[in-house]
Structure 1
Amino acid sequence: MSSRTAGSRLLEGLVVVEIGTRLAATACGSLMADLGAEVVLVEDKAGPRPERALAAAGKRSLFVDSRDAGDRVVLFRLVDAADVVLLSSDANALDSEIWSRARPERQILCDLTAYGHSGPLAGTAHSEALVQAMAAIADTTGRPDGLPTFTGAPFIDMETAVYGLAAIMAATLVRLRTGIGQRIDMALYDVGVNALLTFIPLVLVDRHATRAGNRHPALATWNAFRALDGWVLICGPTNVQWRKLCTVMDRPALVDAPAFRTPSARVDNVDLLDAHVGAWVAGLTAVRCIELVSAQGIPCGPILPLDAIATEPNLVHRRMVLEASDPLTGLKLRIPGNPIRATGADVPVAKPVPMPDADRSWCLERAGTDTGAVKRVTGDVRLSGRPLEGVRIIEIGMNTVAPLACRQLGALGADVIKVEPPTGDTNRINAPLRADGEAYVYALSNSDKRGIVLDLKQPSDRETLWTLLGTADVVMENLKPGSLHKLGFGAQEVQQRYPSIVYCSVNGFGYDSVYPGRPALDTVIQGMSGAMAATQVDGVPMKAGISISDQLGGQFGLAGTLAALFARETGGTAVHLDIAMQDCSAWATQACWNGQAGAPPVIVAASDRLVAIEGDVSLVPSASTLSAAELVEKARGLGRAAAPILSVKDVMENPQTAARGLLKTVPTADNNEWLVLGSPLKLLSTPAEVRSAMPRLGFVHVELAHELGLPASKTPLTLRA
């Protein structure tokens, strides 16, 4: 079996030139190198970056002076020969020049910027932190009684890198079909707005969507508690879990106490509840507490400090933290492994860091000679169809992870069929609910899909699923490991019958794991991946307000699936992708591993709202007498980048959100309509388009009913909480 067939080099044969200096561009290039592409990192002759090993590992290096005529000839010949070029045009003039110039018709240009190329903020070169301010990421992170908080790791940059990879892979599939490349306009702001999925429903029912600390805004028990030797997360909000937790704590009287008897009562009395749980945890070591709680099947875990990530057993087992020495700077740094892991593929134990090549003959050979025969284009030619038209996806997923991946695949044109059990996706009953009893978060998570209800314990429904699988290209699932295997639909069974199917599994700790069967929730994964340790508020590790681990799991599932489809179409075989949310979340903290994370902006109170300012704010006097807009302008005049800290409601009403098409109202097949999120995948020649929301549970589309021999007029099912 070749390495390509085994799935470790899904992008073998692609040539990528990475010029952009934003972290999103660097991380996207690193992912492509990990997947087998030849990535050439263009570096500035003025001097290497301190974190060069992190940026350059697994790539080739070309040092250039963009002002030198000879260097420019070499660079532009190499750029013209590349399949993919990674840019960040709001950061420097060279990237902007390459974005705008005539290029080979087959080429894919991906520009990763703060706000993209449209809207009133187009071209504004804000940092990740200021985008967090503008996209309400800061306003939804931190203690409810404290200031907005910037995440210590650059999660929006990292999410943009993964979405950028997904968009590039969609464009390569278009190029395979048409021979034509295109430009891609990726914006951190678009990604940040999409990350607000769980907060937008609160605004829609006139509730204030803001910070909840380490608690869940609507569930309890759900918090971080201090043990004798560290921090522990406990997330057990159901009545059954509360009863088991009281048994473990030897507090049986609390089970039926009026303050804690129901889920609503526990939320209403959360301070008292957390005091009881906190007092119990305080008398135990973290390890003992986790042993006791996890034995009852209650999701829990330690909050690992960043320096413990390299020794975390599952991350070690899955080789997610590597070391690399930079021969140029002499520095040894920790660097991440690849979260897109295919079953049976070799997992690298090292990624070499290149020296800059003094001999550029390889570069000129790669570039070849431009005879003028290559057709060149400027701007964007609109191509017919969407990237994934003709591709069928079977989604067997719940909550956020698989639904996120599949709504983006649907926006790219795939025929996504969501398989739900008779009780439905659990998001269908998650508050807040609309007046008709339907859940906002479900609609936001499930656009551009058709649905079918199957009870896989019933032979007839299992046969219906096999019929669907016989027409499918991809299975996307995020159930507990082993659940589908018990029902006869694990990866081995499905690929044995249908070898061409790409099977993508995303779960907390992976199939190949030292924690088989361990339950995982977003907050627990944030704690066990370094994501919480990266953000400290008054010495307390703090989760990101957005569901960063759920989102990254879905995004890597999306990107991995598209890469696997590309590999299948270019001579490889279908693979089983084993993606762990813990891997994805740890990968996203890599900028914090080597002690080089920058200081966050300073938060200053203007007369009407808070403002984030980078640098020395002593140069900005009398802030409280100025409006936020005036303060931002004043800071800019003094050479300080600044941005207002917006709320979720502000973001929803922001002209930039409208200009980028990030919120829109779409119909359902059962004559309803919903406000949903637009796609952040901005392919300019074959745009992703969000066209519909999911209907009620049990509604079967006419075409799907005809295909499967089912009645199309089936009465929608009634959900019970």
Structure 2
Amino acid sequence: MKPQTSSFDKTGDTHPPAGGPLSGVRVLDLTSIAMGPLATQMLGDMGADVIKVESPQGDAFRYSAGGRSPGMSSTFLNFNRNKRSVVLDLKDAKGVDELLSMVKLADVLVHSLRPKAMRKLRLDYDRLQALNQRLVYCGAYGFSEKGPYAGRAAYDDIIQAMSGMASIQADPRSGEPAYVKSIIADKISGLTVVNAIVMALFERELSGMGQAIEVPMFETMAAFNLLEHMTGEVFSPPNGEMGYARLLSTQRRPYRTSNGHIALMPYTTRQWRRFFTVAGHPEISDQERVTDAAVRNREIDALYELLARIVAAKSTEQWLALLADEDIPHAAVNTLPDLLDDEHLRAVGLFQPVRHETEGDMKALGIPVAFSRTPGSIRRLAPALGSHSSAEVLASWNVHG
């Protein structure tokens, strides 16, 4: 991924050669906020032609903080590149007809409306599948239609609370639950949407048939959290309490040095033994709680507390120099602004300087995933509301078969 400067026209478009791994895939995006837009942006980054179908009011993320002009917030810009924007009023028959004309030629439709709303609009899978048997139809919303929570409103905070995420982030002193300071449920669910759609497209190449997909946030995040935290409840009857002890240790945190903080994580027996030797405490490296993984896991709180006391005796710079060649996982604790100056991120081109016709100079986040033959690309910056039309989309799709 090499740094490059690109210019975009008034619709936010540029036209480098196509060729991403999803080149030729046509996606109708009826999502808003974060989960769905992240998923469809990733499909677009990999070459798919993504049509963002918006109401006349537009995606609510257009109006979040950090924009230079109305309807083009920084968060919207970061979640909606490589898309064309078509405004349709789906409460009006004309808007529905325009959408259906695109459905006939689309490969994927992904929506974040509640299924009841899609049925009311007569945009449920059964109807659309009758128009296009190859359509992959993905619903991405809060709760599965199969359970009693079906149809409930859901946003990231609600899913963090319900999935156990907020409880395991609890302050160890007060016990108060806390949210991860990231829309992590939206992002993880968005990644799951991408996985599901790509798998369905692969299967379609074998069967010739599309299918309906449901990606509910609650179930996705519950499964995500329980992978390591189910522990004793994996067995019937249970053979212990839930919760991965190392992760829930009250001593697990960035450690205070004499002048700041450092992230430090000896993990293997060799790494633990090497840390105590390098730190000037070789007598500890031969103790059973260091050399025996089972004992180490039982006494992890005490080991982390000991580690914290040792780390406090030196500066951050001293520790970074001391550990540099020891193959013990460690790092400085970056702030968000630090990332903009990180030498590694600069070298791989994570921040792409671009110029948007209406928003001016910007830093676009590059594409972290690298393909040797069919790399993704930034072909369009996030579009202004309604900067394209269904007629334009249909004309381009019909031209290319």
User: Equivalent of 1:102, from 116, 127, 142?
Assistant: 127
Instruction: State the one-letter code of the partner of 1:243.
Output: R
CA apart distance, 1:126? 1.4
- Residue type matched to 2:163 in 1? A
Residues 331/41 of structure 1: CA separation in 2 closer, same or farther (3 Å cut): farther
Residue 183 of structure 2 is aligned with which of 145, 148, 154?
Answer: 154
Matches within 5 A, 1:2-401: 9-47=20-58, 48-49=62-63, 50=73, 51-90=75-114, 93=117, 97=121, 98-100=123-125, 102-103=127-128, 104-145=132-173, 146-195=175-224, 196-203=226-233, 204=235, 205-210=238-243, 215-216=246-247, 223-228=253-258, 230-256=260-286, 262-263=292-293, 266=296, 270=300, 272-322=302-352, 327=357, 330=359, 335-343=364-372, 348=377, 351-355=380-384, 356-357=386-387, 361-366=391-396
User: Which structure has more helix as a fraction of its residues?
Assistant: 2
1:509-520 alignment to 2 at 5 Å? Answer: none
Once the two structures are superposed, what CA deviation does each residue of 1:140-189 show, in whole Å capped at 9, x if it has no partner?
Answer: 33444522332222223222222222221222223223322111111112
**AA in 2 matched with 1:66:** L
- Whole-angstrom distance in 1 between the partners of 2:207 and 2:349: 38
Change (3 A) 1:320 1:116: farther
Q: Matched residues in 2 for 1:174 and 1:348: separation?
A: 25
Partner secondary structure for residue 109 of structure 1: strand
Cα offsets for 1:57-97 (capped at 9, x unmatched):
11111123334444443233223321101101229935863
C-alpha distance in 2, partners of 1:346/1:271?
45
Contact persistence 1:112–1:187 (CA under 8 A):
yes
TM-score (norm 1): 0.45
Q: Secondary structure at the match of 1:42?
A: strand
The one-letter amino acid of 2:127's match is A
Change (3 A) 1:31 1:127: same
Q: CA deviation at 1:119?
A: 1.2
The answer to whether the 8 Å contact 2:45/2:82 transfers is yes
- CA distance in structure 1 between the aligned counterparts of 2:138 and 2:200, rounded to whole angstroms: 10
| CA distance in 2: counterparts of 1:301 and 1:8, whole angstroms | 37
CA deviations on 1:34-59 (whole Å, 9 max, x unpaired) are 11010011223225443321232111
Deviations 1:266-289 (A, max 9, x none): 555555543443233234443442
Cα distance per residue 1:644-670 (max 9 Å; x no partner)? xxxxxxxxxxxxxxxxxxxxxxxxxxx
Q: How much has 1:197 moved relative to structure 2?
A: 0.9
Q: Contact 1:323–1:350 at 8 Å: present in 2 too?
A: no
- Cα 1:275–1:169 change in 2 (3 A) is closer
Q: Tell me which moved more, 145-154 or 274-283.
A: 274-283
Q: Which runs of 5+ in 2 are unaligned?
A: 1-16, 64-72
Distance 1:198 1:186 in 2: 21
CA distance in 2, matches of 1:272, 1:294: 25
Distance 1:110 1:96 in 2: 17
Q: Which amino acid aligns with 2:43?
A: M
**More relative contact order, 1 or 2 (CA 8 Å, 6+ apart):** 2
Aligned length: 360
Residue 202 and residue 8 in structure 1: after superposition, are their counterparts in 2 closer, same or farther (change >3 A)?
farther
2:353 & 2:124 partners in 1: Cα distance?
34
Letter of the 1:82 counterpart: A
CA offsets 1:505-537 (integer angstroms, 9 cap, x no match): xxxxxxxxxxxxxxxxxxxxxxxxxxxxxxxxx
Secondary structure at the aligned position of 2:44 is classed as: helix
CA RMSD of aligned residues (A): 3.5
- Secondary structure of residue in 2 paired with 1:253: coil
DSSP 3-state at the match of 1:81: coil
Report if aligned partners of 2:54, 2:87 keep a CA contact under 8 Å in 1: yes
Whole-angstrom distance in 2 between the partners of 1:169 and 1:34: 13
Cα distance in 2 between the residues matched to 1:114 and 1:13: 30
Alpha carbons 2:86, 2:389 under 8 Å: kept:
no
Deviation at 1:310, TM superposition (A): 2.8
1:1-27 deviation per Cα after TM superposition (whole angstroms, max 9, x unaligned): xxxxx9960011111010122522111
Distance 1:227 1:130, change over 3 A: same
CA distance in 2: counterparts of 1:39 and 1:347, whole angstroms = 14
Sequence identity percentage = 21
Cα distance in structure 2, aligned partners of 1:17 and 1:363: 11
Consecutive unaligned residues in structure 1, runs of 5 or more: 1-5, 369-721
